[in-house]
Amino acid sequence: MAYQPPVREQLFLLREVLDIGQYGDLPGFADADDETVEQILQEAARFNAEVIAPLNSVGDKAGCVWRPDNTVTTPEGFKAAYRALVEGGWPALGADPAWGGQGLPAVVNLAVSEMASSANMAFSMYPGLTHGAYSAISVGGSPEQKALYLPRLASGQWGGTMNLTEPHCGTDLGLLRTRATPSPDGSYRITGQKIWISGGEHDLAENIVHLVLARIEGAPSGTRGISLFIVPKFIPNADGSLGARNSVVCAGLEEKMGIHGSATCVMVHEDAVGWLVGEENRGLAVMFVMMNEARLGVGLQGLAQGEAAYQAAAAFAKDRLQGRALTGPKNADGPADPILVHPDVRRMLLDSRAILEAGRAFLFWTALCGDLARRHPDEAGRQRAEDYMGLMTPVLKGYLTDRGFNICSEAMQVHGGSGFTEHFPVSQYLRDCRITLIYEGTNGVQALDLVGRKLAAHGGRAVTTFFAEIDAFIAAESDNDGLRPFAEALAGAKARLQDGTLWLMQNGLSNPDNAGAASTDYMHLFGLTGLTFMWALMAKAALARIIAGDADPFYANKLLVGRHFIERILPQAGAHLARLKAGSSTLMSFPAESF
């Protein structure tokens, strides 16, 4: 069975759990009434299932092809699909109406992005990175830069990239060597080699706008001397028409385990013409806008590959006849029972559902914070939403990609031997998903960002607010009998996370190695707690419908998956807390030369 976008799940979250209708008087949300949102999601589902998803395996098998004239050809069908994407106006869905966008809330846009990523992760990266470039110029660009670039990036007419990594520097951008020399006309000449540049060269868009980190001659060393530049493939004229070919070229493609349809380029800048974005030496601040957006997007990719893999596994388990149920035949007239009769197969599938459904809720909840951070009418509301965005971004990136990869692996396991062959889609989901644990900052870097920066920001204001919100939710629902198992699970999860947070405060400040040693387990504990909160919110919404007499099995199923989460996913929290408290002394005392 081909991928089916989970529109019903998404609408449940938008309407019944997050109730985005309550923000109808805010900009953007006014145009996102129930009916419009449903129409958009249905149309997006059709487009992604029928146009984009069929190219996923094609792209994996063919890959992108680099030629000695420095051009890159994307897999067959990508070009036509990209044209359809742009003509359908999909890239512009969440962009500012001032630049030709539709201005829909980010949370609605995220639902569409999920479908795109499940349908074809490699293909979806081209518009995904373009949107990142759009955001960076939105934040840091001059009015002229905005007017020239934003409408064309918003529509997808031009593509966008992030040029950060160099061979000797990935995580540690302070080491970067690409240099920028001022020209008399106010532009710069950029020289250096960048690697792992997604969408650095391709045949989909008429121009490609590279956002490049480089060091202006004489700038301080380290991260305080890095500036951000726009380096377009074709230098645009003021009216947007294309001028000369810039001297930034793709010198080759990376051979990778997955996302073969995404061109991962070595980019060589040789006196390429670039324009400074924002202030000199403040490039990282702008790039982090792009990166934070990208991190949320990568968390979504992890979830989206997991969802697609789950769907493939569930279909296989219903279809594959092999053996008999432990309790006697369930398909007595057939040669064997479907393997879905086996508890261990159901465990793998429900483990996946329990993470995917709450992971999606957590992503949507956080994306809504992103909307409210910009659009909430009062300052306190904006600050709270901004705090949450900052705190949850590394959690979602790290936790959901880790779990998404495991879900892909479980989905392969459900397939048995078939899963290891390339005739079934699950190997590609697994291979494509694996990069999400790595790029935009490895999950270890996310965990360090969480414990070293996000947690401590503003005296721990974000996490304190989060704990208070959970406490208030539990108190408010104390009479809700049906919700009791979820409220109790939430109280337990929150207590463990609070315990871990306290341990970090007491042990991580005095010895940063303790914070580093605890970081990954803390991130997972945080992710689990976030998911438990989401299950409580979803269970509350489902219970309300059941009590109101709604007989749709969707709601009863939701409670069952939630119960499964409590029984089988949440017990992991205790192990994370124990490991977190193990400290760093054993780790750090092992001799370096003995590794």
Nearer to its own copies, 330 or 458 (CB): 330
Query: What is the end-to-end Cα distance of the chain in Å, rounded?
Result: 46
Separation CA 408–CA 336 (nearest Å): 26
Among 440, 469, 567, 593, the active-site one is 440
- When binding is defined by CB under 8 A, the residue of 36, 39, 421, 478 that contacts its own copies is 421
Nearer to its own copies, 239 or 255 (CB): 255
Q: Residues near 415 by Cβ (< 8 Å), separated by ≥ 6? A: 312, 313, 316, 424, 426
Which residue bears the tokens 């005392």?
589
Separation CA 493–CA 490 (nearest Å): 5
Stretch that binds its own copies, among 23-31, 140-148, 276-284, 426-434 (CB under 8 A): 426-434
- When binding is defined by CB under 8 A, the residue of 22, 241, 510, 586 that contacts its own copies is 586
- Binding to its own copies, residues 540-559 (CB under 8 A): 553, 557
Stretch that binds its own copies, among 72-80, 162-170, 296-304, 543-551 (CB under 8 A): 162-170
Q: β-strand 72-73 against 188-198: which pairing, if any? A: unpaired
Closest CA to 116 of 199, 40, 196, 30: 40
Closest separation in Å from C-beta 467 to its own copies = 24
Other C-beta atoms within 10 Å of 270: how many? Answer: 13
Check binding of 335 to its own copies (CB under 8 A): yes
Closest separation in Å from C-beta 263 to its own copies = 14
Q: Which two tokens stand for residue 263?
A: 């061109």
- Binding to its own copies, residues 60-79 (CB under 8 A): none
Name the amino acid, one letter, at 373. A
Closest separation in Å from C-beta 10 to its own copies = 17
Write each residue from 230 to 259 as x if it is in contact with its own copies (CB under 8 A), else as -, in one continuous string: ------------------------xxxxx-
Q: Is 325 helix (H, G, I), strand (E, B) or coil?
A: coil
Q: Is 318 helix (H, G, I), strand (E, B) or coil?
A: helix
Nearer to its own copies, 357 or 371 (CB): 357
Closest separation in Å from C-beta 200 to its own copies = 14
Nearer to its own copies, 20 or 212 (CB): 212
Write each residue from 188 to 227 as x if it is in contact with its own copies (CB under 8 A), else as -, in one continuous string: --------x-------------------------------
Separation CA 57–CA 48 (nearest Å): 14
Helix (H), strand (E) at residue 250: strand 248-253
User: Residue 192 — φ and ψ, nearest 5°?
Assistant: 160, 170
Other C-beta atoms within 10 Å of 593: how many? Answer: 5
Closest separation in Å from C-beta 365 to its own copies = 24
Name the amino acid, one letter, at 82. Y
Q: Which two tokens stand for residue 38?
A: 């449903």
Q: Which two tokens stand for residue 592?
A: 């370096």
Check binding of 331 to its own copies (CB under 8 A): no
Nearer to its own copies, 121 or 272 (CB): 121
Nearer to its own copies, 146 or 353 (CB): 353
Stretch that binds its own copies, among 74-82, 150-158, 241-249, 586-594 (CB under 8 A): 586-594
- Binding to its own copies, residues 165-194 (CB under 8 A): 165, 168-172, 175
Q: What is the 3-state secondary structure (H, E, C) of 66-127?
A: ECCCCCEECCCCHHHHHHHHHHCCHHHCCCCHHHCCCCCCHHHHHHHHHHHHHHCHHHHHHH
Q: Maximum distance among all alpha carbons in the chain?
A: 83
Q: Residues near 87 by Cβ (< 8 Å), separated by ≥ 6? A: none
Write each residue from 558 to 577 as x if it is in contact with its own copies (CB under 8 A), else as -, in one continuous string: --xx-xx--xx--xx-xx--
DSSP label at residue 555: H
Closest separation in Å from C-beta 595 to its own copies = 4
- Binding to its own copies, residues 300-329 (CB under 8 A): 314, 317-318, 321-323, 326-327
Which residue bears the tokens 């998956």?
561
Write each residue from 259 to 298 as x if it is in contact with its own copies (CB under 8 A), else as -, in one continuous string: ----------------------------------------
- When binding is defined by CB under 8 A, the residue of 54, 513, 544, 546 that contacts its own copies is 513
Check binding of 349 to its own copies (CB under 8 A): yes
DSSP label at residue 168: T
Closest separation in Å from C-beta 203 to its own copies = 23
Give the CA angle between residues 10, 465, 448 to the nearest 5°.
Answer: 80
Q: Residues near 580 by Cβ (< 8 Å), separated by ≥ 6? A: 500, 503, 504, 518, 521, 522, 525
Nearer to its own copies, 258 or 302 (CB): 258
- When binding is defined by CB under 8 A, the residue of 2, 235, 340, 495 that contacts its own copies is 340
- Binding to its own copies, residues 371-410 (CB under 8 A): 405, 409
- When binding is defined by CB under 8 A, the residue of 43, 206, 217, 422 that contacts its own copies is 422
- Binding to its own copies, residues 448-487 (CB under 8 A): 448, 452
Nearer to its own copies, 21 or 416 (CB): 416
Check binding of 515 to its own copies (CB under 8 A): yes
Check binding of 442 to its own copies (CB under 8 A): yes
Check binding of 510 to its own copies (CB under 8 A): no
DSSP characters over 261-304: TS-EEEEEEEEEEEEEESSTTBHHHHHHHHHHHHHHHHHHHHHH
Active site includes 144?
no
Nearer to its own copies, 184 or 553 (CB): 553
Catalytic residue list:
440
